[in-house]
Amino acid sequence: MSGALSHIRVLDLSRILAGPWAGQMLADFGAEVIKIERPGKGDDTRQWGPPFMQGSDAKTSEAAYFHAANRGKQSVAVDMACPEGQAIIRELVKVSDVLLENYKVGGLKQYGLDYDSLKALNPRLIYCSITGFGQDGPDAQRAGYDFMIQGMGGLMSVTGEPDGMPMKAGVALVDVMTGLYAANAVQAALLHREETGMGQYIDLALLDVQVATLANQAMNFLASGVSPERLGNAHPNIVPYQAFPTADGHIILAVGNDQQFTRFCEAAGRPELAADPAFSSNQKRVENRNDLIPFLLPLMKHNTTEVWLAKLGDVGVPCGPINTIAQVFDEPQIKHREMQISLEHRDAGNVPSVANPVKFSKTPITYRQAPPVLGEHSEQVLKSVLDMTEKDIEKLCNQGVIQRG
């Protein structure tokens, strides 16, 4: 069965994480994604190890980081700095639907690969540019990296313990979210093209994405004029909604409404807390957070995490463990949902990967192959897509314009 985007061809000129994450999402949805890489080293993240990916037959030459965002793609190694390489990319643009890139503002213009140059070749092209700060504004020329954007965009100001340092998320969350926004935007632009026949330009900035995804924290500020502060694992709008120490570890208690709080108090043997006017509604619990939490901290230490999970689960109070990554992949629910998969790598046999979480009923996710070896598909794509001859390809290889895998 074909994927939902099996009729779409994507040129992925992006590197590192945000752009490749978008390209991987489109590949999972069935699109043909051609990853354009520089000969020699390719995407920077191929070398971002250890660890390097271990397959069933051998260890690959690519870092695990590269494998996080490049499955299902074809690697074509082309030197875009030379006219012959630029000509190849322009020919691919003519027969493509989407181009993803994350070069600095104006960086591709010198190669004639900017949107204005390419839309003349293909007016139906969807061209998505990802930068740190966007294509205009006082910071447009600045380089932007996930860590600094988490800080500048406010996420770190609400992450961490109240008396500790501001903290970044443990994953490059801005890059991942930008990749998801990019994939959404591309698909919206493709739908618009279905109606109008015309492509368009997408300007996506990491900083904009970080501000947009402040979500309730941004609205808390806009509603009150007060900047939210760090609350550790607590929630600014719901109480009790945080991690608590237990007799042997920690547990997350996520009480989302007053009925759940009543059931929690009964299960904990303190039903009077739910009847107390100071704690009887979520609004009151938020206002009196500093009075309620000291009651709950010693209470939660009376039982082990396993006992609390059972007791609270029996009465429908949302709660959960704080798993290590190893424990995540050992969770029965994760196994049932098949969130770990195995993909075929050309050199290393079967390698593990994390599944796409989307479950389509009619157009299931397409897992064609593991992330490619650098230049693995150069010859195949140039022959099948551009009708190049073996003689032409050999000449380009000898000139260093392309690299075979």
Alpha carbon dihedral 155, 160, 166, 169, in 10-degree steps, equals -50
What are the chain's domains?
9-213+335-403 (3.40.50.10540), 241-327 (3.30.1540.10)
Which tens digits make up the pLDDT trace of 153-168? 999 999 999 999 999 9
Collapse the DSSP code of 351 into the 3-class scheme (helix H, G, I; strand E, B; otherwise coil) and give the result.
strand
The pLDDT value given to residue 1: 63
Strand order across the beta sheet in which 250-254 lies? 241-245, 250-254, 319-320
Taking residues 97-121, report their average pLDDT. Answer: 97
The residue count for the chain: 405
Which one from 175, 203, 258, 291 is the annotated catalytic residue?
175
Both structure tokens of 302: 């009376």
Q: Which two tokens stand for residue 23?
A: 């390209």
Question: Which three-class secondary structure state does DSSP give residue 19?
Answer: helix
Question: What type of residue is 179?
Answer: G
Residue 248 appears among annotated catalytic residues: no
**Residue 1 or 178, more confident:** 178
Q: Tens of pLDDT along 172-198? A: 999 999 999 999 999 999 999 999 999
Report the pLDDT value the prediction gives residue 193, as an integer from 0 to 100: 98
- By DSSP bridging, strand 98-101 and strand 126-131 are parallel
Report the 10 Å Cβ neighbour count for 324.
9
Do 374 and 405 contact (CB within 8 A), yes or no? yes
Model confidence at 281, pLDDT cuts 50, 70, 90, reads: very high
Tell me the β-bridge partners of 320: 252
For residue 388, is pLDDT > 90? yes
Is residue 206 within 8 Å of 224, Cβ to Cβ? Answer: no
pTM above 0.75, yes or no: yes
Tokens standing for 107? Answer: 């960086």
d(CA 390, CA 387): 10
The pLDDT-based confidence of 51 (bands split at 50, 70, 90) is: very high
Residue 356 is classified by DSSP as P
- Are 301 and 247 in contact by the 8 Å Cβ rule? The answer is yes
Residue 130, pLDDT above cutoff 90? yes
